[in-house]
Amino acid sequence: MTSDSRLRYETNRSAQDDSVNIVPGLVMAAGFSTRFGDKDKRIAGFRQNGSSTGLLSTTLNNVLPAFIDADGQCCLAVVLRPEDSAEALGVPPQCRIIHAPNAAAGLGASIADALTVIAENNYWPSAHALALILGDMPELRAETITDLTQQISKSTIIRPYFNGKPGHPVLFGRTFWTQLSKNIHGEGARQIIKNNQQAFKAVEVSDPGVLFDIDTPDQLSRA
């Protein structure tokens, strides 16, 4: 990365993690969650399996097994705000960290920041696709992601559906990475999907976790 780059990158580990036959994951956790109030939603306690951990940490630990290759290398990155501490947010140490300087501009800008970092540093050069995951989906199953990654190709976009309703993560073939890196004014990646309907594939899954996210304290208290 050049010294005048606007994008700052750091990693919890030094390994060069390029893995063949694995789809890397990009967990979006740089938002400000205004509907959650003054507290940082990412560290709000979520109870699962008899214990309570931060919402982001729970999500990451649940999906992490889907992004470990046969050599034990992790292909999961977490997108955070420039001022964030990965350790304070409970990010597992094997995850790659990308800081998005334009996070305040919205999800589309954070995705664009992350894809620019990936391109500038040539991360995952042999990957044919990536999975965009929201950081507030604590019931998403790793097995669901694995099933989706086995169906994605370089030139397709896949989105899971549960009972006919669209969910997350959305998987993008490498063909669309450049479009994602330029989508700085969009709301997430919706416009990319809209512009490429010929490549879009809806996949019905049995995992209700693809629909379950936490936006407000009331939702968290009822979870």
For domain 8-222, say whether CATH 3.90.550.10 is its number: yes
Prediction pTM value? 0.86
Q: Which helix (H) or strand (E) holds 148?
A: helix 142-149
Provide mean pLDDT across the span 124-137: 95
**Most confident listed range (3-7, 18-22, 108-112):** 108-112
pLDDT category of residue 21 using cuts at 50, 70 and 90: low
Could you state, in order of their start, the residue ranges of all structural domains in the chain? Answer: 8-222
Least confident of 9-13, 83-87, 189-193: 9-13
Closest CA to 25 of 143, 113, 149, 144: 149
Long-range contacts formed by 177-180: CB under 8 A, 24+ apart: 177/115, 177/118, 177/119, 177/130, 178/115, 178/119, 180/111, 180/112, 180/115
Q: Has residue 26 got a pLDDT over 90?
A: yes
Distance CA 94, CA 78 (A): 11
Q: What is the pLDDT of residue 186?
A: 64
Of residues 37 and 105, more confidently modeled = 105
Which pLDDT belongs to residue 140? Answer: 97
Angle between helices 55-63 and 142-149 (to 10 degrees): 50
pLDDT score of 78 more than 80? yes
Cα–Cα distance, 17 to 30 (Å, whole number): 23
Q: What is the pLDDT of residues 81-106, one digit of tens each?
A: 999 999 999 999 999 999 999 999 99
Distance CA 216, CA 218 (A): 5
Give the pLDDT of residue 147. 97
